[in-house]
Structure 1
Amino acid sequence: MTRKLAVVTAGVGTPSSTRLLADRLVAAVQSQVGARGEDVRVDVIEVRELAAALATMTTAAGLPVPEVTRAQDIVRAADGVIAVTPVFAGSYAGMFKMFWDTFSPDDLSGMPVLIGATAGTPRHSLVLDHAMRPLFTYYRTIVVPTGVFAATEEFGGGAGGDQLNRRIVRAAQELAGLMVSTATGVEGFVPAGPRRTNGSSLPDPTSITPFTRLLAGHDGS
């Protein structure tokens, strides 16, 4: 089976350290999904290429713009998302936020997301937990535990580069595990539930079997 991976990168230059980090994350996720016996189709969205369209959409009360609509469709149909931004003024890039502002929480609910950020100094690493993780929590996505921050110095060799590689591999394992996960469990805990726009199941809390029924007939021994 081929899984779909959407990559949203908000680098502002060419070449871009943000795109470089995104590419390394993609390669790691492809490796991890491949190790689980499946393929990955990757679609990369360069937010800077949508800057004018996003501005038009924002100032036109959300009226659809074809370039943005195509990017939205790619994200909605994905089995997983990698989202990477440079850090500006201690937070994510404005264009990065503008892109996600075009979605509603219902569009992304339950979507596995790997977050990453780049900056010139490690002092900005907290942007992952103070800005990016709350943003994607608002959209009810499943943000993998390991976020990947890369300072300029870490793109080279040495101890910093080794630590970055380990974070990339760990985050890729977490995202791949969610993208390829197969529903398993005891009766009453894996309902069919509603489905996201990409066809995968979402839990339906109303169909979970009560504990009183699950424990019926057991004397506790």
Structure 2
Amino acid sequence: MSVEQSINLIWLSLGSVALVEFAAHAAPGAIVLDLQHGLWERGTLEAAIAVAGSSVPVIARCAENSPQAIAQPLDAGAASVLVPLVETADDARRAVAAGRYPPLGKRSAGGVRPLLAGVGAMLEADRHVAVGVLIETVRGVENAAAIAAVPGVDYLFVGTGDLALSRGTGDPGVIARDGAHVLQAARQAGLPCGLFTQDAAGARAALADGYRMAVSANDIDVVKQGFWAACRALG
């Protein structure tokens, strides 16, 4: 997955393959499947990636920073993994190792989709996988420069929700300063940086500030707001 240009993300948590198809039809830069907090299971993950097809890259927000949690979405055909709660350079090194085949990492070879075209194609696909890390705690913000310097990290991403919990405040100014700190660390390392945003207006502002990835819509809010609007329209 290329992260050389600005990418509009649609974030999906509800575990619906049908919603993935609708999201892909809207032609975003990429789709994020939230395996950490979402309702995705292995079978629906495989189906969702198949439905998205080659036209829309799929990023998997992993359930955790572990070899199995990172390898499973890659085995399903995800273009990128976004590894949560990375707080140190050692955390980042573990994520990179789990996301790459030897000799670059420790990822185990296997799965159904990677081997469809043979081992050679599996190894070639590995060259295009992007490993992203979520900075979403105060400790992660403080160590952002060291995390960004880890070889094999392809991009940083600021998780604003968990960061607000870690900070003990959702004050927009405080979170914005933390984000700017991570963004600067990414720039100094020559890496793109993304930001979790709630809607298109937030995404537009983030991209204008220099972030290269931002969330224009997420399925929970789109569905919730659609139902609320319909009910209110009837009085």
Query: What is the TM-score of this pair, normalised by structure 1?
Result: 0.35
